[in-house]
């Protein structure tokens, strides 16, 4: 139920901040939970441990869910999580590496993360390091040309220590991706750039973990995991509504959302125990 806790904490953080993004963070709760609790080699007590896996968040606006999961994993307290976007906080609206050492990059402009991750992957190989590089990217930022430059680079150098996870939620700030700038066929495009491609249900923990473990066994090329997610997952009234891309809930909406989350996931948990 860590993903539920992360969704609840994310809503609380957004209300406390009075600004921020809702749909994407809720949709990526399961992915981040899988990474921090099942996949990454990391140590919350030593955030700059040299042998840690690197996690790059390219679409930095969904960082509230990363902060929420990091708080649950022990990087900082829940109280600090509630300082999201406040002046002087380490938890800014986009990741700021110099404020929070556990973040690998500062992100804001979309489309840069895959290039950064590919560079880190090549550097790790050249240095004989065994850690892996993970990159979270959005579908909407695939409108940016530098994403495809990074895809070519990683494919050319067969960066098998690089795993990218695309949040394929089909929305961006002003509409559905296929209306704004059609992206399909995404799988075939990445395969043409010499990537190994997997497609998963981004809310199925077993599929998420299995795909990331699968990627470790691919030795001749980088892996792209296209994770099909539901923006606003867990709150039916906002799911798939692109207007919630960059909108926080009001205090009244938050009360309703939290009640919905606890009711829905409580029933799911009960069914697993019966």
Report d(CA 262, CA 244) in Å as an integer.
Answer: 20
Spatial contact of 163 and 132, defined as CB atoms under 8 Å apart: yes
**Residue pLDDT, tens place only, 178-222:** 989 999 999 999 999 999 999 999 999 999 999 999 999 999 999
Which tokens belong to 148? Answer: 């495809």
pLDDT tier for residue 37 given thresholds of 50, 70 and 90: very high
Residue 263's pLDDT band, with cuts at 50, 70 and 90, is confident
- pTM here is 0.93
Strand partners, 54: 133
**Other Cβ atoms within 10 Å of 271 Cβ, number:** 8
Average pLDDT over residues 134-162: 96
The residue among 138, 151, 135 whose CA lies nearest residue 110 is 138
Instruction: Please state which of the four CATH numbers 3.40.50.2300, 2.60.40.420, 3.40.50.970, 3.40.190.10 is assigned to the domain occupying 2-273.
Output: 3.40.50.970
Where in the chain are the domains? 2-273
C-alpha–C-alpha distance, residues 203 and 248, integer Å: 22
**b/e burial code for range 244-254 (CB count within 10 A of at least 16 → b):** bbbbbbeeebb
Dist CA 141 CA 27 (whole Å): 16
Contact 95, 70 (CB under 8 A): no
Note the pLDDT tens digit of each residue in 54-80: 999 999 999 999 999 999 999 999 999
Average pLDDT value for the chain: 92
Confidence of residue 266 (pLDDT cuts 50, 70, 90): low
Range of weakest confidence among 85-94, 155-164, 261-270: 261-270
Q: How far apart are CA 117 and CA 98, in angstroms?
A: 18
Share of the chain above pLDDT 70, in %: 96
């Amino acid at each position: 139920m860590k993903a539920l806790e992360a969704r609840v904490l994310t809503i609380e953080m957004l209300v406390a901040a009075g600004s921020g993004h809702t749909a994407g963070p809720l949709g990526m709760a399961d992915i981040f939970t899988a990474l921090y609790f099942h996949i990454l080699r990391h140590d919350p007590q030593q955030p700059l441990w040299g042998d840690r896996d690197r996690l790059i968040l390219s679409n930095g606006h969904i960082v509230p869910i990363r902060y929420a999961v990091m708080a649950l994993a022990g990087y900082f307290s829940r109280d600090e999580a509630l300082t999201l976007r406040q002046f002087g906080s380490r938890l800014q609206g986009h990741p700021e590496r110099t404020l929070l050492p556990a973040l690998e990059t500062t992100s804001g402009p979309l489309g840069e993360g895959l290039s950064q991750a590919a560079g880190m992957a090549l550097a790790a190989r050249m240095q004989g390091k065994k850690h892996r590089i993970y990159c979270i990217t959005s579908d909407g930022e695939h409108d940016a040309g530098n994403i495809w430059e990074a895809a070519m680079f990683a494919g050319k150098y067969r960066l098998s220590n690089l795993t990218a996870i695309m949040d394929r939620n089909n929305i961006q700030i002003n509409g559905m991706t296929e209306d704004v700038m059609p992206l399909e066929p995404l799988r075939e495009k990445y395969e043409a750039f010499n990537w190994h491609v997997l497609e998963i249900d981004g809310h199925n923990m077993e599929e998420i973990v299995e795909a990331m473990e699968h990627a470790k066994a691919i030795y001749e090329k980088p892996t792209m995991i296209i994770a099909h997610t539901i923006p606003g997952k867990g709150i039916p009234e906002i799911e798939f509504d692109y207007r919630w891309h960059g909108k926080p809930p009001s205090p009244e909406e938050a009360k309703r959302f939290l009640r919905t989350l606890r009711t829905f996931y409580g029933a799911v948990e009960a069914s697993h125990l019966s």
